[in-house]
Amino acid sequence: MAVKDNVLRGKILSFFRELFPQGADRMSVVGCYYEYYRTGNIVDALEYLVSKGYIDKREVPHPIRKAEKLATYTINAHGIDLHDGTISDPGVTVLPEGE
């Protein structure tokens, strides 16, 4: 695991903290970071945050492509605590605002 992965996870967590209580779909998150990170790394970071219980993932059927599902994500209370520094996780580096 690289430090770069930790920082990406922290950036994504901060992104969802700013959106709270709204969430975003996977493609919106990828669209925000694709210039700086590989798409696979972004999706992996999202799934890490879901697996650790910091972000909730909801999949719904795609309205047009019936074989596909749309994934939407929302930060939860545990994720807010991590972002705000109440708890810590060595796998997520939340940078101070402005960095």
Could you tell me the pLDDT band of residue 99, with boundaries at 50, 70 and 90? low
Is the distance from CB of 2 to CB of 86 less than 8 angstroms? Answer: no
Mean pLDDT for all residues in the chain = 90
Measured CA to CA, the distance from residue 4 to residue 40 in angstroms comes to 14
Indicate the class that CATH gives domain 3-84.
Answer: mainly alpha
Considering only residues 60 and 6, tell me which one the structure prediction assigns the higher pLDDT. Answer: 6
Domain locations along the chain: 3-84
Residues 6 or more apart whose CB falls under 8 angstroms from that of 71 comprise 25, 26, 57, 58, 59
Q: How far is CA 15 from the centre of its chain?
A: 7
Q: Mind listing the pLDDT tens digit for each residue in 50-69? A: 999 999 999 988 778 778 88
Residues 6 or more apart whose CB falls under 8 angstroms from that of 95 comprise 7, 10, 11, 14
